[in-house]
Amino acid sequence: MHQKSVKRKRKKNHQPSNFSQVQSRIGEKPQRNHKDSTFCLLFSEPARAIELYNAVTGENLPPDTELTYTTLKNAIYIDRNNDLSFVVKDRYLVMSECQSTINRNIPMRCLGYVNRTLENLAGREGLYGRHLVKFPAPEFYVFYVGMEAWSRKTLRLSESFLAEPKENSLELVVNLINLNYNKDSEILQRSPSLLGYSKLLYHIQEELSANGGDLKQAIDTAVKACMDEGLIADFLHKHSKEVTGMLFKEITVEEFAEIRAREAYADGEKAGYDKGEKVGREEGEKTGLARGAAQEKREIAKKFKDSGISIEVIARNTGLTPEEIESL
């Protein structure tokens, strides 16, 4: 666990009396490493983390509010290395970004995350001692930026239970927040940083569709567009090379294939409608899906191979054999 404390102006202490004893075991501002995500890097700045806290909780704390990072080091519990957690006042927030699809087992993963964190907070002495160990109230949030339609706003651990939960059953609720760009989104309006991040991903998807799948060009164009629009411009100016490298790794072959498959599906469907025939529409849908699943797959695999992504990763995400990829 990261060990770093963010020194800020002292505010009135709302924490339990014994929290100061366990706080020394919590990390402070997380140290960056090559596995960090753009999401984590953006909110590793305390003022932005407070902005994020305000956006999801509805509070209005000042940017210099004391905050302690509790992000677990090298622990992929929720989704890749996109986990971020911190303590503000008496609340403990665990957050993650999911870029592709929502995994219904996220509550179980969050349970593992908070369990390990609390063990670190309390220590062996606290866990097995006689005195009550108090800790900040955990809250769980997952930010979704994939293209799959998803209307649910929560996931519950009890949905995994084989039997109906009883009054004394364990429960853990994860709030799902859609971060896909929408100018009318309330949470994006409450956080300029979330808005900038959402618009960055939106621009990348738009550019991928427009330029035929050149990922690096799409990222470079999207970064420039956000800077021109004044969205997280200071962050992108300071970390442009890091962000470009991170985004290149974060946008997986599977997600890239999904973008192209959807384009192919839309093209096929449009062709069917243009013919004005029901059969044409059905064939158009089939053609679109087939192109997205087969023909486009080889083109996508070649682009990622040329970009230096390992053949093993490409094969795992596209279903092509290593021999087929080698021949591209």
Sheet holding 137-144, edge to edge: 67-69, 83-88, 91-98, 137-144, 173-178, 154-156
- Which two three-digit tokens encode residue 268? 């096929």
Query: Can you tell me the mean pLDDT for 268-275?
Result: 55
The CA distance from 285 to 277, in Å, is 12
Can you tell me the mean pLDDT for 118-133?
A: 81
Share of the chain above pLDDT 90, in %: 31
Question: pLDDT for 158-180, tens place per residue?
Answer: 999 999 999 889 999 999 998 88
Residue 236 has pLDDT above 90, yes or no: yes
Return the percent helix, strand and coil in the chain, to nearest 5. 50, 10, 40
Q: What is the pLDDT of residue 97?
A: 75
Q: What is the pLDDT at residue 278?
A: 53
Domains in the chain: boundaries: 19-178, 184-238, 252-328
Give the dihedral of Cα atoms 13, 15, 18, 19; nearest 10 deg.
-110
The whole model's pTM is what? 0.69
pLDDT digits (tens, 9 = 90+) for 273-327: 555 555 555 555 555 555 555 666 777 777 777 766 778 767 766 778 888 888 8
Among 56-65, 116-125, 226-235, which is the least confidently predicted range?
A: 116-125
| pLDDT score at 32 | 47
